[in-house]
Amino acid sequence: MAGRPADLGALRESVTCDRATDVLWFFLGHQSWRVYVADCGWSWNETEEWPAGQVSAALLGDRTG
């Protein structure tokens, strides 16, 4: 699941491809969507935007340098 970001060298140095896949499933898996929308009452837009930001912060390396 995280093969492409790994191939591009986009992952943080400390994050393996396997770990990135686990993180993606945690934030974006079907169970998470159910929790966000059905249990927490988030809108679909919130459920798209917030997890995407968290995934980026957790997995992607600093691209400023």
Spatial contact of 36 and 54, defined as CB atoms under 8 Å apart:
no
65 pLDDT band, cuts 50/70/90, is very low
18/5 Cα distance (integer angstroms) = 12
Q: Which pLDDT value is given to residue 63?
A: 57
Spatial contact of 6 and 20, defined as CB atoms under 8 Å apart:
yes
C-alpha angle 3-62-50 in degrees, rounded to nearest 5: 75
Q: How much is the average pLDDT of 8-33?
A: 92
What is this structure's pTM? Answer: 0.76
Q: How much is the average pLDDT of 55-65?
A: 78
